[in-house]
Amino acid sequence: MQVCHAAASVSAVFDAPNLIADAGLLPLIRLAERAGLPELAASVRIEDADNSGGANPAAKVMSLLSAMCAGADSIDDAGRLRHGAMDRAFTGVRAPSTLGTFLRSFTHGHNRQLHRVHRRFLAGLARHTPLLPGAGQVMFIDIDPTHRRVYGHAKQGAEVGRLKGQRTLHLILATFSTQVARPVIGAVRLRRGKAADVRGAASFVAESLAIAKETGGTGIRLVRADSKFYTADVVAACRRTGAHFSLTTGMNPSIAAAIGRIAEDSWVPIRYPDAFVDPDTGEMVSDAEVAEIQYTAFTSRKKSEQVTARLIVRRVKRLNAEVTQGQGELFTTWRYHPVFTDSPFPMLEAELDHRRHAVVEQAIADGKSGLLAHLPSGDFQANAAWLTLWAMSHNLLRAAGALASAFHAKATTATLRAHLVNVPARLARTARTYLIAHLPERWPWRDAWMSLFEAVHRPPSPA
């Protein structure tokens, strides 16, 4: 690709008053309105001395959400909403300085209000779009913590924690997915950098399960997590709400003894359709053997808190490097990876389901490559609000993709922005003040964009 010879001498000037850079916000904001977000956001009541942060919270939440959907990863980037003809297409756009003041006005109580908006908005999106097909039969709730490195000693809550030598803030999130849908964000929580992974895990799991039910998870709900969440409190939180659990356990003497009781002829070969990285060796694993045995966990707790369920164990051959040097294998050694679960599915299906827990990493990667590239404020509660708004923008983009096409229903967030949101357009008005958006000719994803646009502008289906 080269510059056209006739245009070898190019000049540029920013003087087009009728252009907008992100025409995909037209259907996106209409979808958010259909899901009731402006009314929900108006319930965030911020009381401060001069009302500098609390006035008209709906306009500020909508402005932040729109900027995030367009790709803003800092407060200043919200200025992209104030260009060209954006004021003709949208009303109530707020300046970055106003949005920064709004975020810094948040307290813990205001963040709980915003999180209530998030969970109801997610439920609204699920009602208006095929966001989680199959949720009424089986829904997977994946819990995972992650650290986000931050810079500057004035960053509230930033501490040197698990990532040695790095100051971080500690995020925990729950994603909801089905057998055919990519994950959306359920509950989110921001903690200080040194907070233990399992801190508040039971209440977080209970909150996630409540949101899952509101989002359409009325059938089997399976909570999946790694060994940091293998606790009696987490299991109890699942069972109180009728959900199932599937938790990696790690090895301890009791589990090792249980594995030793598994008969040799009980091991069944399994082939994983998607190879994964073995956490012990870093090698790719496609083939293994699986067996299960009944196991009673948490025997150090009182009788009512002990849990008897299935211990499903995967074993993989431990490679002997000396075999390649001419020494034969005297006996086979194995590496064992146990999972404690009360999954209602057969053993091989339950094992495959648990290994798909890694889908939560897709949502984390989406965030870290975009809006969570850094947490933009020095104020802890402002960053907590930013995290919740990221979750809302992630879910809105996923809902838009579900309306656009089968491909976009499973596309990454970056792809959704490139194909559906960051589309330039020229706005024109007719004599009847009817607004027309003229988009690029031969846009490769025209059909998907129009499917989204028409879906959100047609009259809503009767209740």
Task: Write the CA distances from 123 to 46, 53, 139, 185, integer angstroms.
Answer: 24, 27, 14, 11
pLDDT, tens only, 132-167:
999 999 999 999 999 988 887 788 998 887 777 788
Which is it for the CA torsion 277, 281, 287, 290, positive or negative? Answer: negative
Min mean pLDDT across 160-169, 211-220, 303-312 is at 160-169
pLDDT for the residue numbered 288: 85
pLDDT band at 338 (very low <50, low <70, confident <90, very high): very high
Mean pLDDT for the chain overall: 89
53 is a domain residue: yes
Percent of the chain residues topping a pLDDT of 70: 90
pLDDT for the residue numbered 330: 40
- Rounded to whole angstroms, the Cα distance separating 80 from 71 reads 9
Name the DSSP class of 420.
I
- Rounded to whole angstroms, the Cα distance separating 115 from 123 reads 12
319 pLDDT more than 70: no
Q: What is the mean pLDDT of residues 201-217?
A: 95
Q: What is the mean pLDDT of residues 420-435?
A: 86
331 pLDDT more than 50: no
Residue 398 or residue 5, greater confidence:
398
48 pLDDT more than 80: no
451 is a domain residue: yes
Min mean pLDDT across 37-41, 327-331, 383-387 is at 327-331
pLDDT band at 279 (very low <50, low <70, confident <90, very high): low
pLDDT for the residue numbered 328: 46
93 is a domain residue: yes
pLDDT for the residue numbered 462: 60
pLDDT for the residue numbered 153: 79
42 is a domain residue: yes
Distant-in-sequence, close-in-space partners of 332: CB < 8 Å, separation ≥ 6: 317
76 is a domain residue: yes
262 pLDDT more than 90: yes
Task: Write the CA distances from 426 to 28, 31, 88, integer angstroms.
Answer: 17, 21, 11
Q: At what angle do helices 360-368 and 380-404 cross, to 10 degrees?
A: 110
- Rounded to whole angstroms, the Cα distance separating 18 from 20 reads 7
pLDDT band at 460 (very low <50, low <70, confident <90, very high): low
Half-sphere exposure of 285 (CA within 13 A, CB side): 23
126 is a domain residue: no
435 is a domain residue: yes
Min mean pLDDT across 2-11, 57-66, 210-219, 234-243 is at 2-11
Which is it for the CA torsion 3, 6, 8, 10, positive or negative? Answer: negative
The number of distinct structural domains making up the chain is 1
pLDDT, tens only, 51-94:
555 688 999 999 999 999 999 989 999 999 999 999 989 999 99
- Residue 139: enclosing H or E segment and its boundaries? strand 138-149
176 is a domain residue: no
**79 is in which domain, residue-wise?**
13-107+380-457
Asked if 113 contacts 43 with a C-beta cutoff of 8 angstroms, the reply is yes
